[in-house]
Every structure is written in structure tokens, then in C-alpha cells.
Amino acid sequence: MMLTTMRPPRVDLAEIAAFVAARYGVSGEWVALEGERDQNLRVTGAAGAFVVKVCHPAEGVAVLEAQVGVLEHIARVDPGLAVPRVRRALDGAALTELAGCPVLVLSWLVGDVIGGRGLTPAQHRAVGVAIARLGRAMRGFVHGAPAMRPLVWDTRLAGGLAGHVGELPEGDRGSAGEVLARHVGRTVPALEGMRSQIIHGDVHPFNSLMDGGEVSGIIDFGDLVQGSLVQDLANAAADFLTPGGDHGAVLFQMVKGYASVTPLEEAEADLVLDMVEMRLVMTPLIEAAKRAQGIVSEGSLTHFNDRSMPLLRELRAVEGMRNLIRRAANFAPPAPAVTMEEAWARRRRVMGAKPYVFYDPPIHMVQGEGVWLTDSAGRRYLDCYNNVPHVGHCHPYVVEAIARQARRLNTNTRYVTDQSVDYAERLGALAGDGLSAVVFVNSGSEANDLAWRMAKAWTGHSGGMAMEFAYHGVTEAIDAFSPSNAPGAWAAPHIRLLPPPDDYRGPWRRGEAGLAENYAALAGPLIADLGPLGLAAFMVDSAFMTNGILDVAPGYLQAVAAAVRGAGGLFIADEVQSGFGRMGQFWGHRHHGVVPDIITIGKPAGNGHPVGAVITRPEILEHFLTLGPFFSTFGGNNVACAAGLAVLDVIADEGLCERARVTGEHLRAGLRGLMARHGLIGDVRGVGLAVGVELVQDRETREPAGAGRLVGLLRDEGVLLGSEGVHGNVLKIRPPLAFGPDHADLLVQALDRALGRL
Ligand code: PMP
């Protein structure tokens, strides 16, 4: 490593003045300036003010060429960024030579060196902004010389100073050694994997200018080096600290300003404090190294030397500094590692002592990816039943779409917003059949509630029909359509419940003739029974999920729809479960060959972000709006629509409808394969990735067998699924559509083992 053993050249001023007048056409009043390696002067005359740098010959022309190159690069890329401009000689040369020394002439920037004066929080933030802008302006600049340069001030090389720790005052040696060891052992190896480019290398208050309270420029590109991007920020952050100051506030503001232009990567943010400490320790170590070579520091360096170790002590006394820097870089503090037991006890204290959770003991989930969930003990589970993370837990395309939109704009549909219009158009195009009018809400329940209001308005009727043991949501109006909410206590005089077309357990069974007609014929008398209320709407889930995921005879829903329409009612397809490719094509109702009047969506639409919508014919919506305006604050907000659009993209890009169809077939074949060995399985059925496995005590009597123990054993196998049906004896397999045949095989094997352990 090259230590700073050079002293600046000492060329005679008259000689310099004559040279600069002849070669550059610049003359005027001369003043000598400070310089660690170069002889620097200022000349002020008719042509303006310039800095003349008579550089140390040992510096090498290549490094100076890089300096010229970077300044001209910055002038092109970010002309508003105040850095010196290169003044070329009259013959166009950027570098000239005097007395064996390269000469570089730069424009003089307005403003005063910040130096040791205290800054306001806004000014600290502005320094952070300026450093980030500088890094951006330099990031496309390529030159070999700065990469080949072992500079003593390059923090990454600080390990080379270890031999001088013993020369520090005794009280400082321990902490300096510790900082250095951590730097060499952890920081430098980590930096090797981080963003690297040519950086300024030495932004500090004596290289930063201020004019009228504003940061007005950054000067001195003499330490240009190929380094880690975050180095410039960390070095400056250390150098802008002042003894006795509010160090947390300085670091927070500088990092905040920096991140407002160039977001830090999380790993970079987590290194800033270590690098600040290293920079502080480096100063006295370099001083010691210089002393060993008989060099005495002058000027601004003495400022840094005296303050470094006291500052390090003060900095270390501030609590929570790491998290403060993380917050400034927009990263929440890392969640403390909590065990399931702790989290569970805390939850019961604040969220009700009788919680409704899956499993006993419950699972403390901390992470999701694709079809996998991970708990706080690090155990991975194959997710076979969550339909909300529809295209896969934390799908990166959806996550990015949400984050990008959240950064840009998130407001409501009382403004005209592009995302809501795009999403409405896409949904309308997918719905087809003239269903091109879309209203956004936030959940399946709200969508069904609104659909019900629209149906009553359109038909003038006030009666409804749903399936027995249906579930459509939580609002008061929709609770009436959801007898499964409280099976024994359901009472809704305006609703009739249609017995499900259950071809395994119902009165007409698989293989018998007239199945569809027989079950559909049950609708007519129920509708008639509504009497003067009249039928406003029939609401149905095409996957018949709560009914135990039924295989429904072809023609059944068409016949029910005909009866509904014959009574002047509307057909509401609740696609919260069955839509978005779940049943192997985009909409579940298409499987049944029906055309609904209204489609409602929820759960899967936003992949976990709350998104709900009603899709209907324009005349139904227009009529509804004649009664009064409809507005849902969060419904159709930009971020929700960005999530919704991203989900539609992923379904198309990854061919998820087809994947659900193929994987579903493969899975059912595997499950049926288990029937030979496990008498408990009475039936395997479903469409696409809506799959039901009905458990029976006896295949002849079909007496239901509870699924609870098996679901628990599967959890032990690392497989998550649920149970459904009025008897709770149907295994519900309804995974994210990222689920593939290999996952299906894992599930079948786990089920085989779990059944064996029953
Ligand atoms: N309809 C169906 C078919 C559902 O399965 C659900 C939720 N399980 C809903 C509506 C209600 O949706 P949300 O919970 O978003 O209100």
C-alpha cells in the first residue's frame, strides 16, 4: 500500500504564473492553497477564478487523466451538480507539464469550505443528497487507473495500518484494534459483494462548499478510487461529526438525504456504522504511519486527528445507532427473534383470549415463498390450501409492482387514475359476455354485498337464494347468504337455501341418470316459496368449496340459472374461490357453461393485497348509480390495482390456468392411488386445483370420518391443508397456483405416511 509520503511540489510562483498565462491565457492575482500531495494555487483575473494544480509527479498521469475524465463525465451527466470544470489549455490539452510536474487547471467554485462549522439537520441532509448525486453522476464512468490505485485513505485497505495501533495512546488501542479487526474480518469481505464504482474517495467538510446556507459544491477529486459506493457516504458521515454533537441526528440526516436519491441496499445500510467507526480510527493510524516516515500533517488534517478517538467513544455511547441508520435508509429495524410461545402469549393478551387460528398449537409464520411457508423455528411447510397468495407467496413480480406503485402514487377513484382504468378494462375483457362494468371494493364480502344491492335495485325484488352451507362473507346482508357461518342458528326469512348437487352423498349419485335435472329441479319450488318478495339473485360459488368441493353434473348450473332468470332474478357468480384459474380456466362459471349477470372477485385477485370487485353489465351498474353514488375509500386505489394487474400478468406469463389443470389431474391421480391402501378415503374429486378428499368410516355406509386428526398429522409432516363440508370430513386442497406436479407428489407421499400413522 502507498502511504502518503509525498510532499507537494514547490515550483516557484512566478514560473507557474508565466506558464499558466502562456498555455492557458489565464492571469491575475495568485494565492497559494492547502494541498496534501499537490501544490495548489488560485488565480483570479479577467477570465474568472481558477484552481491551478501542480501535481506530484509520482501521482502518475493516468490518475490525472481519470480525474479529467470524471469531471467531464459529471458535467455531461449531471450538469447542475457543482463540481469543478476542467479548463483546457489553449491548444486543447487537458493536462500540461511544468518542471516535470503535470498541471491541471480547474474552475473555482463559489462558496466557502464548510470546514468545522456546525450544520443544521436540513444541511446535513443536503450533504447526503449531494454525495448520492455525485455517485450517480459517476456511476457510468469507466477508467482503469482508479482501480489500480492503493490509496492509504481507501477504507478497504485499512487493515494495512494494523501495525500502528500500538502507537496510539494506550487508552485508545483496545477500541481501535477492535474496530480494525471487525473491519478486516467482516466489513471488507462484505464490501466485496456490494456495489462498486469509481467514487470521489474523500468527501469531507473541507472538500465541501457552502454558499448562502446551501451546499454549493464538492471539490478535490484527487482521491478518485474504484471503491464501494457506500464508502463516500460513510467517510463523509464520519467526517461531518463534531465532538459533543448529536451524532445520531447527523448520521440519520446524511443517510436519509443519500437514500432519497440512491436507495441503499440493506446490507450497505447495515455496514455504514462500522465504516464510520473505521474512518474515525483510520485518521490517527495514518497519522502514526506518517510520523514513522517523518511527515507532519498540516491544515485540515490536524482538525480530524484530534477529534477522532473522542468521537469514536461518543459514538459508541449512543444507543440504537444501527437501527437509526436502518430507518434513515428506509429499512425497519429487524424483527426481534421471538419464539412461538412468546408470540402466542402476547397475541392472546392483545387480540382476544379466544383466538380463531389453524392448528393447536398454532404455527408462528415468519416467511413465505412460492408454495412454501416458514415458521419461527425455521421449519418449512408445503402450503396446500392458501388461495390468497394465488400466484405464490410473495411473488417478486407482484411485490415489485406494489412497491413501485406505492412509491409513485396511492390515492382513490374520486380522481381519474390510470391503474384503476387499466385494471377495470382488463377484468371486463376477461369477463366477456358483455360484463364490462367494474366497481372496486376491498374484499369478497364487500363485493357480494354490493352485488346484492345492485341485484335488488335492478330487479325490484328482495328475496335471494344460496346453496345450503354456503359461505359468501361477513357483512350483515351477506351473512344471510352464508348459512355455514352459524349452521344451527341461521335464520334469514328472505333467503332460500338450495340443497347441494352432491353426487357422492346426496339423494342422486354419480352414475345415475338425470343428476343435473333432479338437483336443479329443487330450485323452482324454493324460488316460488319466496312469494311476493320475488327473487333478486341467486349467489353461487362455482367450486362448491364449502359444500365439500363437489363434482357437479354438467348442465346443473345452467338449469338453475334458467330457473333464476325465469323468475326475473340475477345470477351472481361468486368467483372469490373459483376464479383466476383455480379451476383450470380463468373463471369457474365457464366450467359450468353459464353466463352470469354479475361476477364478484376477492381473495386471489391481489395475491394478498386487499382487492375486491364487482363486474357486471353496464346497464345494471348505471341503474344502480341512478339511486345514488357509490364510493369505497380504498376500493380501486392505485396500489391495489397495481397488485391486481400484476396478478393478471403472472397468471398469463406463467400459464397458471393450464398449470392448475395439469397439476390438478396429476394430484387427483396420485390421491386415487392411495385409495387401494387407505380405506378412509371415500372419494377424490375436484376441478383444477380445487381438490377434495372425502373421508369415510366405511365406503359402503359412507359414514363421515372427521378430518381433524389427519390434518394435524399432516402438519407434523410439513404439509398444510384444511377440511371442508357440512361434516368437516373433506380434506380441502387448494394451494397457490405455483403448486406443480412435484409438489403434488410430496403431498401424496405425506398423506400416505400420515394415513399410516392414524
Ligand atoms: N365468497 C367466497 C366464496 C369466499 O370463500 C369468501 C372468503 N372465504 C368470501 C366470499 C368473502 O371474502 P372476504 O373474506 O374477502 O370478505
Q: Is residue 4 over pLDDT 70?
A: no
Query: Could you tell me if 547 and 500 are in contact, meaning their C-beta atoms sit under 8 angstroms apart?
Result: yes
The CA distance from 437 to 450, in Å, is: 13
In the numeric block, the cell 378415503 is attached to 681
Q: What number is the average pLDDT over the span 388-403?
A: 98
The pLDDT score that the predictor gives to residue 146 is 84
User: Cell numbers at residue 457, please?
Assistant: 335495485
3-state secondary structure 553-615: CCCHHHHHHHHHHHCCCEEEEECCCCCCCCCCCCCHHHHCCCCCCEEEECHHHHECECCEEEE
What separation in angstroms does the CA of 396 have from each of 384, 400, 461, 472, 647?
A: 20, 6, 46, 30, 11
Ligand 1 centre from 356 Cα, in Å? 16
**pLDDT tens per residue across span 414-436:** 999 999 999 999 999 999 999 99
CA atoms within 13 A on the CB side of 583: 24
Domains 117-334 and 444-601 share a fold: no
In the numeric block, the cell 324460488 is attached to 527
Neighbours of 203 (CB within 10 A): 27
Cα angle for residues 538, 689, 722 (degrees, 5° grid): 85
Query: Could you tell me if 218 and 208 are in contact, meaning their C-beta atoms sit under 8 angstroms apart?
Result: yes
The pLDDT score that the predictor gives to residue 25 is 96
**pLDDT tens per residue across span 670-706:** 999 999 999 999 999 999 999 999 999 999 999 999 9
The pLDDT score that the predictor gives to residue 492 is 97
What proportion of the chain, given as a percentage, has pLDDT over 70?
Answer: 98
Q: What number is the average pLDDT over the span 455-459?
A: 98
The pLDDT score that the predictor gives to residue 450 is 98
Radius of gyration over every alpha carbon of the chain, rounded to an integer in angstroms: 36
Task: Return the closest-CA partner of residue 33 out of 207, 213, 293.
Answer: 207
At residue 205 the predicted structure's pLDDT band, cuts being 50, 70 and 90, is very high
Ligand 1 centre from 605 Cα, in Å? 12
Ligand 1 atom with the shortest distance to the CA of 448: 10
Strands (E), 311-375: 365-369, 372-375
* Type of residue found at 211: D
432 contact partners, CB below 8 Å, separation of at least 6 = none
* Type of residue found at 364: H
Ligand 1 centre from 541 Cα, in Å? 10
Ligand 1 centre from 446 Cα, in Å? 9
In the numeric block, the cell 453522476 is attached to 137
Q: What number is the average pLDDT over the span 520-526?
A: 98
Task: Return the closest-CA partner of residue 140 out of 96, 208, 197.
Answer: 197
**pLDDT tens per residue across span 617-665:** 999 999 999 999 999 999 999 999 999 999 999 999 999 999 999 999 9
The pLDDT score that the predictor gives to residue 299 is 67
The CA distance from 585 to 404, in Å, is: 29
Query: Could you tell me if 216 and 114 are in contact, meaning their C-beta atoms sit under 8 angstroms apart?
Result: no
* Type of residue found at 156: R
The CA distance from 481 to 294, in Å, is: 90
CB of 471 within 6 A of ligand 1: the answer is yes
What top-level class would CATH report for the domain 1-108? alpha beta
Round the average pLDDT of the chain to a whole number and report it.
95
DSSP calls for 43-96: EEETTEEEEEEE--GGG-HHHHHHHHHHHHHHHHH-TTS--PPB---TTS-S-E
The CA distance from 748 to 2, in Å, is: 65
The CA distance from 580 to 207, in Å, is: 59
CA atoms within 13 A on the CB side of 720: 22
Fold of domain 117-334: Aminoglycoside 3'-phosphotransferase; Chain: A, domain 2 (3.90.1200)
Which CATH number applies to 444-601? 3.40.640.10
Q: Is residue 522 over pLDDT 50?
A: yes
The pLDDT score that the predictor gives to residue 701 is 97
Task: Return the closest-CA partner of residue 134 out of 209, 62, 190, 194.
Answer: 209
CB of 472 within 6 A of ligand 1: the answer is yes
User: Cell numbers at residue 444, please?
Assistant: 369478497
At residue 714 the predicted structure's pLDDT band, cuts being 50, 70 and 90, is very high
At residue 3 the predicted structure's pLDDT band, cuts being 50, 70 and 90, is very low
The pLDDT score that the predictor gives to residue 301 is 64
CB of 578 within 6 A of ligand 1: the answer is no
Q: Is residue 717 over pLDDT 60?
A: yes
**pLDDT tens per residue across span 71-130:** 999 999 999 999 999 999 999 999 999 999 999 999 999 999 999 889 999 999 999 999
Ligand 1 centre from 683 Cα, in Å? 26
| Ligand 1 probe mutation, 440, 472, 484, 485, most atoms within 8 A of CB | 472
Q: How far is CA 337 from the centre of its chain?
A: 21
Q: What number is the average pLDDT over the span 58-63?
A: 88
The sheet carrying 730-733 orders its strands as: 681-687, 690-695, 730-733, 722-724
The pLDDT score that the predictor gives to residue 37 is 85
For ligand 1, atom 12, which residue shows the shortest CA distance? Answer: 444
The pLDDT score that the predictor gives to residue 334 is 82
Ligand 1 centre from 413 Cα, in Å? 23
The pLDDT score that the predictor gives to residue 116 is 87
Ligand 1 atom with the shortest distance to the CA of 446: 16
CB of 579 within 6 A of ligand 1: the answer is no
Output the pTM of the full model.
0.87
What separation in angstroms does the CA of 573 have from each of 451, 466, 477, 589, 692?
A: 10, 11, 17, 7, 21
The pLDDT score that the predictor gives to residue 292 is 84
CB of 473 within 6 A of ligand 1: the answer is yes
| Ligand 1 probe mutation, 471, 538, 632, most atoms within 8 A of CB | 471
The CA distance from 243 to 305, in Å, is: 12
What separation in angstroms does the CA of 116 have from each of 248, 358, 513?
A: 18, 61, 94
**pLDDT tens per residue across span 286-328:** 988 888 888 777 666 676 777 899 999 999 999 999 999 999 9
Neighbours of 740 (CB within 10 A): 16
Q: Is residue 173 over pLDDT 70?
A: yes
The CA distance from 690 to 115, in Å, is: 69
Fold of domain 346-391+655-758: Aspartate Aminotransferase, domain 1 (3.90.1150)
Ligand 1 centre from 575 Cα, in Å? 9
Kindly list the domain boundaries of the chain, sorted by start residue.
1-108, 117-334, 346-391+655-758, 444-601
